[in-house]
């Protein structure tokens, strides 16, 4: 059944995207009431925090706005000199700081911070719902079905509740778009979506490496389709490779902390991740060149299996199955 799906040249069928439909606003309203809840809203506006991570994120944003360097993620509050280097990047700091600066033109500093911690998770929730709608439309589902799924799934999480400004909410939203673009790339007419798949996967890693196994699955969908159908799927695989390599390079040089650039830091965008991203893209391109002109699927399976199986001996060149893509 999976082979048949991967072999289809017109799959997946894309239904009209019902972004402006009443279903989106119904779902957003229900989830907002469920996740934000009036007592949580009141607690946040009174200065309360759901978790210590949210406090640490706000402190990191405060320090940056107060003049701490872009690549300097040291936290003197967590230890004596040379201090503790946070394993978070500035990716999530940017939208939080932007929202905070905007609200600071209208409200007192403390109120601006509190309302930022209300509006940021609400915006992430809306983004996740949009991603879920896109994914459902790509699969050809009627609008109520993916929204019902989103209601059941997202309501079980606390990552969108009022006060949550850590990176988990944005990562959930990113995953929706990663899987949507990967599925759209199965259709040769929209193979360009594979470039977005690679870039968004790299962006998600730049936020935090916790979703790496789920990102690997999305990339493997395109790799396995190439194994099944061969040449028709090559444009998507090539664009995926370029998206991964380009995305990892761009986000590493833009967001890697000064203290992690030469380290294999856990849960951090470090040089180890840059190496894995560049090696993944290069190995995918080399894989296609090695079997160019070979039309039998068994040859592609053998080459791809050999590349994946070689991960223990050559972890940097084992493409999507590299150990570093599963974390440390």
Q: What is the 8-class DSSP label of residue 323?
A: G
Task: Tell me the average pLDDT of the chain.
Answer: 77
pLDDT higher than 90, residue 184 = yes
pLDDT band at 24 (very low <50, low <70, confident <90, very high): low
Question: What gap in Å lies between CA 28 and CA 8, rounded to an integer?
Answer: 34
Q: What is the pLDDT of residues 190-220, one digit of tens each?
A: 989 999 999 999 999 999 888 889 998 998 8
Distance CA 10, CA 184 (A): 10
Tokens 């994120």 -> residue: 57
Confidence of residue 312 (pLDDT cuts 50, 70, 90): very low
The pLDDT assigned to 325 comes to 35
How far apart (Å, rounded) are the C-alpha atoms in residues 216 and 179?
11
pLDDT of residue 327: 36
In this predicted structure, the answer to whether residue 328 has a pLDDT above a threshold of 70 is no
Task: Band the pLDDT of 149: cuts 50, 70, 90.
Answer: low
pTM for the structure as a whole: 0.80
> What is the pLDDT, as a whole number, of residue 220?
87
pLDDT at residue number 308: 59
- Residue 140: asked if its preceding bond is cis (omega within 30°), the reply is no
Average pLDDT, integer, range 159-179: 90
The model's pLDDT over 261-273, given as tens digits with 9 standing for 90+, comes to: 545 555 667 777 7
Whether residue 179 is predicted with pLDDT greater than 60 in this model: the reply is yes
> Tell me, what's the pLDDT at 85?
76
Question: Would you say residue 132 has pLDDT above 50?
Answer: yes
What angle in degrees, to the nearest 10, is found between the helix axes of 109-138 and 144-154?
130
| pLDDT > 90 in the chain, percent | 26
pLDDT at 104: 95
Question: Alpha helices of 185-211 — where are they, by DSSP H?
Answer: 193-207
Residue 86 pLDDT level (bands cut at 50, 70, 90):
confident
Q: Is the pLDDT of residue 181 over 80?
A: yes
Query: Helix, strand, or coil here: 143?
Result: coil
Higher pLDDT, 103 or 3: 103
Q: Which segments of 167-270 does DSSP mark as H helices, in order?
A: 168-184, 193-207, 212-229, 234-255
Label residue 105 by pLDDT band (50, 70, 90): very high
Report angle CA 133, 251, 68 to the nearest 5 degrees: 110
- Domain of 238, in residue numbers: 2-326
Say how many domains are in the chain: 1
Phi, psi of 104 (to 5 degrees): -65, -20
Which pLDDT score is estimated for 318? 38
- With left for phi above 0 and alpha for psi between -120 and 50, is residue 117 left, alpha or beta? alpha
Whole-number Å distance between alpha carbons of 306 and 311: 9
């Amino acid at each position: 059944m999976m082979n048949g799906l991967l072999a289809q040249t017109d799959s997946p069928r894309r239904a009209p995207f019902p972004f402006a439909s009443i279903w989106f606003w119904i779902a957003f309203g229900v989830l907002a009431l469920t996740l934000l809840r009036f007592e949580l809203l009141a607690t946040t506006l009174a200065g309360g925090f759901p978790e210590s991570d949210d406090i640490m994120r706000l402190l990191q944003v405060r320090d940056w706005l107060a003049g701490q360097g872009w690549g300097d993620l040291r936290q003197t509050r967590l230890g004596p000199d040379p201090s503790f280097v946070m394993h978070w990047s500035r990716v999530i700091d940017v939208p939080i700081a932007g929202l905070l600066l905007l609200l600071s033109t209208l409200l007192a500093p403390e109120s601006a911070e509190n309302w930022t911690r209300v509006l940021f998770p609400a915006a992430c929730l809306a983004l996740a719902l949009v991603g879920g709608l896109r994914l459902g439309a790509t699969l050809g589902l009627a609008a109520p079905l993916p929204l019902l799924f989103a209601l059941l799934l997202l309501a079980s999480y606390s990552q969108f509740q009022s006060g949550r400004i850590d990176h988990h909410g944005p990562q959930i939203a990113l995953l929706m778009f990663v899987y949507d673009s990967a599925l759209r790339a199965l259709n040769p007419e929209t193979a360009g979506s594979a470039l977005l798949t690679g870039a968004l996967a790299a962006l998600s890693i730049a936020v935090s490496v916790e979703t790496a196994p789920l990102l690997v699955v999305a990339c493997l969908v395109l790799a396995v389709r190439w194994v099944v159908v061969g040449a028709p799927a090559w444009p998507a695989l090539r664009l995926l490779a370029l998206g991964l390599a380009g995305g990892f390079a761009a986000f590493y040089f833009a967001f890697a902390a000064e203290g992690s650039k030469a380290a294999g830091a856990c849960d951090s965008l470090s040089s180890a991740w840059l190496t894995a991203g560049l090696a993944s893209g290069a190995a995918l391109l080399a894989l296609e060149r090695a079997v160019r002109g070979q039309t039998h699927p068994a040859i592609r399976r053998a080459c791809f299996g050999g590349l994946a199986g070689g991960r223990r001996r050559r972890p940097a060149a084992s493409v999507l199955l590299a150990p570093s893509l599963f974390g440390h």
